[in-house]
Chains A and B, each alone.
Chain A
Amino acid sequence: MIQITPKENQSRWVSLGIPIMAAVLSLLLAAIPLAFTGASILDAYVQMIKGVFGSLFNFTEMLTRATPLIFTGLAAAIAFRAKLWNIGAEGQLYLGAMAAVWVGTGMVDGPPILMIPLVLAAGAIAGGLGMLGPALLKTRFGADEVVTSLLLNFIILIFLQMMLEGPLKDPMGLGWPQSEPIVDNAILPQLITRMRLHAGFILALGTAVVAYVILAMTVWGFKIRAVGENAAAARHAGIAVNKTYLAVAMASGALAGIAGVSEVAGLKGYLTADLSPGFGYTGIVVAMLAGLSPLGVIAASLFVASVFVGADSMSRAIGVSSFIADLIVSMSLLCVLLGGFFARFNLRWDRNKGDGS
């Protein structure tokens, strides 16, 4: 029998090393599906690395791809810290994007110093409300937020299509279901000329630092962690658990909403129904790779974005399906989950089967 015993102490290095090992392992495991395609595996990895580090443009593309992942990763990390399972970041991202185009396509206009905060705030509020719903259903009726926030994604996506064919539709869009372009004054500025990298990236880094400070150093952050570790004990200690859930839901949804604003006002300029290739769901992987730490989310986002950008470029170069990126990212989640186990427990093969000692 296999005996499982908890480890006495878990070192900081282990908790730092496991995500790195999981990331490396998932990249190595990619060789198996790659082998099935008949492509040269070494060539595939070379193409992936080139795709990220081959040029300044490629590198900034990776940072551009990491930007929404930092926001959705933070959204998942903060919610999961409180054991509030927000799986609805994908929908909240679109709510944020819709709010951004709603206020940002001519409803109001002003200097960028006003317009940029305005679209960000609109997106944050919309995203926040998007998670407040499932959180209220949880605190008021006891409905499992995993299922409600997940199902809300589908509802919001259909709502988005309705809006893009109706009120938000660009009359100049030649019939395509897309919104009018965001006004120039609400566009997040480019960071480097002729590169797509935009100010959303700086905002994402800043947000991660703020989230770290809030979680680690404020009373509110303490409450979030206390509720996540043991809701019953937190309630006993006088923490308003339901209020904390609602506040975390607002914060988490707002972060996902800002991801949507950043994509629409920083990268695309207008809204379509394929704005996000699953950034909301990938945010969950990012948060888990980060060990739910806000600063770790930055590193994890860079890794995941590298996989996506690198695999895209490899896929173009050697003709392997770009689903390989999703495969690597999902394997990294399973690897980090397993790694967490080996960090916390010792496995021992016990030959005296059933001895019980």
Chain B
Amino acid sequence: MMDFVNIFLSDSFWAASLRIATPLIFGVLGALLCERSGVLNLGIEGIFVVGAMTGWMAVWLGMGLWGGIVVAALSGALFGLFHGILTVIFGLSQHVSGLGITLFGTSAASFAYRTALPQVSSPPRIEPFRALDIPILSDLPFIGPVLFQQTAMTWLALFMVALVWWVMEKTALGVAIKAVGDNPDAVNAQGLSVIKLRMGSVIAGSALMALGGAFLTMSAFDAFFFGMVNGRGWICIALVIFASWQPGKALMGALLFGMFDALQVRLQTQAGAVIPGQIFLMAPYVLSIIALVIVARKADYPRALLTPWFKGQR
């Protein structure tokens, strides 16, 4: 029991929670932006893989870490553009298109990686983002390790939360995006372009998703592995419902999730002898399902989610 309390008192636990939450923060924000505009993006899992591969590859080719970030975001945007063309312009099934993007993104990234590096026994490594070392702040007790010894990508994720919150809540653009996900006809009547708003949201959201993937290869690890995304994208789709499509709650949801995941790793080492380790490995997925079930009935879905909109056809 004392061990259990000690976990919560240790700075390494809270630092790990935030670290584990980082890719999810990017992913949930991306899903939030897409869905707020009325487009479900099940391409997320594949876009994570694309971001992880392209970001890593750019760094490996010598473009630098921030170059990698840009490349990852652009390739995510490209797949978002593709999903947008299929679902927004052509109004095709968002479910099928998203799954198609996931399959296509995953196989394209894997194929490109294998083609570029045909004969490697162990995956080549890059020099990933290092933990920040800010004078004074990083040395503070507790707060230092938890907040100021994270990598720059974690701070980028937190900045994105603030940015998305500001855009959604404080700007006319945010009002328009939310409106287009609820009532596209009204937005059209205002003289705004439903298509442009949705396309922009899907492209920007997909770029954010790709950064979630890039965090895995450029910050959490230093190499690309097949299957490394391992359902993180799908977890984001559950978390965004849990977060009622609000940026602040999205951050909370991702952090809560990171906490549980960090907790299970620590419990696993303590209880490993008694309970099979796999029980703990299942926890993130079980938790996502439970979270979804809890909020499902009162979830306030964007009203035009999944509904295509064509100009001049009411």
With A326-B103, A326-B107 in contact, is A151–B231 under 8 Å at CB?
Answer: yes
B138 within 8 A of A: no
Q: Per-residue 0/1 for B28-39: is the Cβ within 8 Å of any A Cβ (1 yes, 0 no)?
A: 000000000000
Q: Does A147 lie within 8 Å of B114, measured CB to CB? A: no
**What 1/0 flags go to A274-294 for Cβ under 8 Å of B?**
000000010011001000000
Please give me the residue from chain A that is nearest to B240 by CB atom: A147
Is B106 positioned at the interface, with any CB of A under 8 Å from its CB?
yes
**Is A331 engaged at the interface, CB distance under 8 Å to the other chain?**
yes
B90 contacts the other chain (CB 8 A):
yes
Residues of A within 8 A of B95 (CB): 85, 146
Q: Which of A4, A154, A356 contacts B285 (CB 8 A)?
A: A154
Q: In the complex, how many angstroms separate the beta carbon of A160 from the nearest chain B beta carbon?
A: 9
Q: Across the interface, do B296 and A142 meet the contact criterion of CB distance under 8 Å?
A: yes
Contact between chains at B118 and A319 (CB < 8 Å) = yes
Asked if B124 is an interface residue, CB under 8 A from chain A, the answer is: no
Interface of B, helix, strand, loop or mixed by DSSP = helix
Looking at the complex, which one of A85, A147, A324 makes contact with B292 (CB distance below 8 Å)?
A: A147
| Stretch from B129-137, B216-224, B276-284 contacting the other chain | B276-284
A338–B91 Cα gap in the complex (Å)?
10
Chain A 311-331, CB-CB to B under 8 Å as 1, else 0, gives: 000000001110110110111
CB-based contact B292/A143 at 8 Å: yes
- List A contacts of B297 (CB < 8 A): 141-142
The complex places the Cα of A128 from the Cα of B89 at a distance, in Å, of: 37
B286 located at the interface, meaning its Cβ lies under 8 Å from any Cβ of chain A in the complex:
yes
Tell me the residues in window 82-126 of chain B with beta carbons closer than 8 Å to chain A beta carbons: 86, 89-93, 95-97, 99-101, 103-104, 106-108, 110-112, 114-115, 118
> In the complex, are the beta carbons of B289 and A166 less than 8 A apart?
no
Which range contains the number of B residues in contact with the other chain? 35 or more
Partner of B312, one of A36, A87, A137, A356: A356
Which of B91, B103, B241, B289 is the one whose CB lies under 8 Å from A152?
A: B289
A288 x B293 contact (CB < 8 A): no
Q: Given A137-B293, A158-B282, A334-B86, are A147 and B238 also a contact pair (CB < 8 Å)? A: yes
Contact B293 A143 (CB under 8 A): yes
Q: Are B289 and A148 in contact (CB under 8 A)?
A: yes
Whether the Cβ atoms of B96 and A333 lie closer than 8 Å is yes
* A-facing residues in B23-51 (Cβ within 8 Å): 42
Q: Is the CB of A329 within 8 A of B103?
A: yes
Q: Looking at the complex, which one of B89, B108, B278, B279 makes contact with A327 (CB distance below 8 Å)?
A: B108
Q: How far is the CB of A276 from chain B (nearest CB, A)?
A: 14
Distance of A55 Cα from B93 Cα, bound (Å): 40
Compute how far the CA of A356 lies from the CA of B188 in the bound complex, rounded to whole angstroms.
13
Contact in complex: B115, A37 (CB < 8 Å): yes
**A176 close to chain B: CB less than 8 A:** no
Question: What residue of chain A has the Cβ atom nearest to residue B42's Cβ?
Answer: A146
Contact A4 B310 (CB under 8 A): yes
How many Å lie between the Cα of A326 and that of B115 in the bound state?
A: 14
CB <8 Å contact, A159 and B92: no
Q: A321-B115, A334-B100, A334-B104 are in contact. List 9 more A-B contacts (CB 8 A).
A: A33-B115, A143-B296, A151-B289, A154-B230, A321-B118, A323-B114, A326-B107, A326-B111, A356-B312
Closest 8 CB pairs of A and B: A326-B107, A321-B114, A330-B103, A323-B111, A162-B278, A330-B104, A143-B296, A142-B296
Residues in chain B within 8 A of chain A (CB atoms) = 42, 86, 89-93, 95-97, 99-101, 103-104, 106-108, 110-112, 114-115, 118, 230-231, 234-235, 237-238, 241, 276, 278-279, 281-282, 285-286, 288-289, 292-293, 296-297, 299, 310-313
A sample of 26 cross-chain residue pairs with beta-carbon separation below 8 angstroms, ordered by A number, consists of A4-B313, A142-B296, A143-B292, A143-B296, A147-B234, A147-B288, A147-B292, A151-B234, A154-B234, A158-B285, A162-B278, A284-B96, A288-B96, A320-B115, A323-B107, A323-B110, A324-B111, A329-B103, A330-B104, A331-B104, A333-B96, A333-B99, A333-B104, A334-B86, A334-B97, A341-B91
* Interface of A toward B, CB cutoff 8 Å: 1-4, 33, 36-37, 85, 87, 137, 141-144, 146-148, 150-155, 158-159, 161-162, 165-166, 281, 284-285, 288, 319-321, 323-324, 326-327, 329-331, 333-334, 337-338, 340-341, 345, 356
